[in-house]
Structure 1
């Protein structure tokens, strides 16, 4: 049986797929790749089926990650039934997820697992900016991914 994690942003073409790729590697580095499924989705569906934003893909590639297989999907209420941990990239998406979450389901911010991050820290949306915004997103998700991987390891051991 696998533990399942879903990372959620707005359109599922920048932040959450970058975090998905980074978290997968962090879990693989801990020897958990065969025990944990990592997925991502967006609260909006306008990019469904699209590949990752080219700028996000380029930043990942420049840092040794491969995001080429990603296709955007939309998070729907039934996804809560098949995921053990749902993490939002920002407060708006956190609120959207909490509105549709069944009673008793906890949804958290992705950066809440980064001990250096302040309370309610978000992964900012780089979509309307340049390369530096995507570099910032990668640095933030790399910092938080280690904490998420540790949490997941503790949950499944």
Structure 2
């Protein structure tokens, strides 16, 4: 069950990884597309960030972008951002990709969880960082992101005032 929105009829989701160039931007692009497909894009906003600022302003990793593009998504608008404490205030739900990210954003809470807590295959697991691996790692991340995002959109449909 998702936390209630802070603003009636609106919901804001933040996705967080380490550098905001692989996992969280992939999830961001997929979630925005799935929200549009579900007719929720006018009520649910999505943002992504990294806990480290090394890539601030950069596009996503070229392999992440290529994986999304090959699957029919548009990765071109992404620019890396850095998480700060205001994200907790500005978002109804903060979803992180791994335990390190969870620690870096202040730990679990009512509005802060692991992204894959919603994964129907392996709830609560981390999304592995594909940065230092090959293309198959990005494809694996996309599969995790797509099924978890589908579950997230289904949960958003249950939030009062959004459907």
- Is it true that 1:66 corresponds to 2:74 in the alignment? yes
1:104-147 deviation line (CA, Å, top 9, x unaligned): 643111111112214x3111000001100000000000010011
Q: Which runs of 5+ in 1 are unaligned?
A: none
Task: Tell me the distance in 1 between the aligned counterparts of 2:110 and 2:121.
Answer: 26
- Is it true that 1:43 corresponds to 2:54 in the alignment? no
Q: Which residues in structure 2 correspond to 1:1-157 (within 5 Å)?
A: 2-99=10-107, 105-118=110-123, 120-155=124-159, 156-157=162-163
TM-score when normalising by structure 1: 0.92
Task: Tell me the distance in 2 between the aligned counterparts of 1:6 and 1:153.
Answer: 17
List, as ranges, runs of 4+ consecutive aligned residues in structure 1 with deviation greater than 2 Å. Answer: none
Task: Tell me the distance in 1 between the aligned counterparts of 2:132 and 2:100.
Answer: 17
Single out whichever of 58-67 and 21-30 deviates more from structure 2: 21-30
| Aligned residues between the structures | 153
Task: Tell me the distance in 2 between the aligned counterparts of 1:62 and 1:82.
Answer: 33
1:15-61 deviation line (CA, Å, top 9, x unaligned): 00000011111111211011111110001111100000000000000
Q: Which runs of 5+ in 2 are unaligned?
A: 1-8
Higher helix share: 1
Give the drift of 1:67: 0.8
Two-structure CA RMSD over aligned residues (Å): 1.4
Task: Tell me the distance in 2 between the aligned counterparts of 1:117 and 1:27.
Answer: 22
